Structure 1
Amino acid sequence: MTLKLTFWSLGLGLILALPFSFGQVYGGRIAKGIIVVYERLFRSIPLLVILFLIFYGFPKINVRFSPFTACILGLGLRSAAYQSQIFRGAIQSVSETQMRAARSLGMSRLQGFRHVVLPQALRIALPGWTNEFTIVLKDSSLAYALGVTELLRQGGYIISTKYEPMLIYLSVAVIYLVITLGINRGLGTVEKKLAIPGFAVKEQIR
């Protein structure tokens, strides 16, 4: 359940973050303003409050979510705000001449972004995105507050059967550690394989 929460939330955040980052770099004043408000709003409110607002607030307008869905929405919407900044920085790291070259070949701005800028930006953004994965994984423990049986809540159930709390919580901590280190190692390998040759050297010269 913890892994489901993490991957679904990251996926939702990624789907929202890519158009947000495009709008922040290439959008007009209104689009940029809306995205900035969204980003600052979700980065400023504690995640637990966001989860409560979604789970307990939406029923007031006759929209109800299951605890699992509410957690994915809360984690995903908050992650989108952070991921949009990761991708915005990565997009701005790609030279503007790349987009000008794409436009000179007859591509629209969106086509140039999709086929030329985005593939390079994704590689650059991978280290920051790996860090966001770690954050979302750990924050998924807050689903405990809505009754989702993720790793921490399952540990609580085991403790209620008279097991030693310290032993169980240490076990939970070790599981989080193993998952985090394992996936970070895997993403680190992908990062090395997708690294743009000479990019780091070029940045150091600057």
Structure 2
Amino acid sequence: MSDWLPLMWSSLAPLLHATVSFTIPLTLITFTLGLALGLLCAIIRLFGPRPLAWIVRFYVWVIRGTPLLVQLFLIFYGLPSLGITLDAFVAGLIGFTLNVGAYTSEILRAVISSVPKGQWEASYSIGMSWRQAMWRTIVPQAARVAVPPLSNSFISLVKDTSLAAAITVPELFQAAQRIVATTYEPLVLYVEAALIYLALCSVLTALQSRLEKRLGQYGGFLEDRS
């Protein structure tokens, strides 16, 4: 055990480098793209033409009904058989974006549906178009309700990026695996990687709590004014 600390210290720099260079960018990019895709899918499900709504429903059904790891394998290892070869990071971006989009679409569909119909009627009564009512009235109210589940999805995504190691993306867990291959100390390195994930998620959880508290105060302020 006395050798653990020097090993953990010497491996800290490459693990942090992998975190900053791959884990964090993979999380931020895929969540942003997935959130945009999820919002588009939610709007189509609620207000779009039936054929498009059925396509979106099928996409959500497939993604939510299959493991993320299988989806990553299909994109990275399966598509080359069709002549489509992707870089590991790009394959990870596509896989995680599609996964996040499916799950966030259900969250956003639920919160948009939860906004009272009276808000639509009030928007139309002051001359707003459907688009204006959606973006100026409905989405801001739905966003406040969506923050907790979306924040939880974001924190889960940070941990799920470890699956990208299976398609050779050199993120945090992959970096730990590479060091294990040379040091033969899996327990030490995997504990260290787990602690880094824990630190990231703890910071995000604290930020989530502060954001929810601020939004709660803002919501109370609006209710008092109304």
Does the TM-score normalized on the shorter chain lie above 0.5? yes
User: How many equivalent residue pairs?
Assistant: 200
Q: CA deviation at 1:42?
A: 0.5
- Following superposition of structure 1 onto structure 2, how do residues 48-59 of structure 1 map, counting pairs within 5 Å? 48-59=69-80
Task: Report the counterpart of residue 162 of structure 1 in structure 2.
Answer: 183
Secondary structure of 2:143's partner?
helix
In the other structure, the counterpart of 2:112 is 91
Q: Give the structure with higher Rg (CA).
A: 2
2:200 maps to what in 1? 179
The equivalent position to 2:122 in structure 1, one of 78, 98, 101, is 101
1:175 Cα shift?
0.7
TM-score for the superposition, normalised by structure 2: 0.82
Q: Where does structure 2 lack aligned partners over 5 or more consecutive residues?
A: 1-21
Q: Distance in 1 between matches of 2:149 and 2:24?
A: 19
CA distance in 1, matches of 2:187, 2:116: 52
> In the alignment, is residue 63 of structure 1 matched against residue 75 of structure 2?
no
TM-score under structure 1 length normalisation:
0.90
Amino acid at match of 1:156: Q
- Supply the distance in 2 between the matched residues of 1:107 and 1:168 (Cα, whole angstroms): 57
- How far residue 61 of structure 1 moved from its aligned partner, in angstroms, is 4.2
CA distance in 1, matches of 2:222, 2:67: 36
Give 1:71's aligned amino acid: G
Tell me the SS of whatever aligns to 1:160.
helix
What percent identity do the matched residue pairs reach?
A: 37
Partner deviation per Cα, 1:144-191 (whole Å, 9 max, x = no partner)? 111111111111111122252111111111111110110121122112
Residue aligned with 2:170, SS: coil
RMSD: 1.8
The equivalences for 1:114-125 within 5 A come to 114-125=135-146
**Alignment partner, residue 197 of structure 1:** 220
Structure 1 unaligned blocks of 5 or more: 201-206
Aligned counterpart, 1:203: none
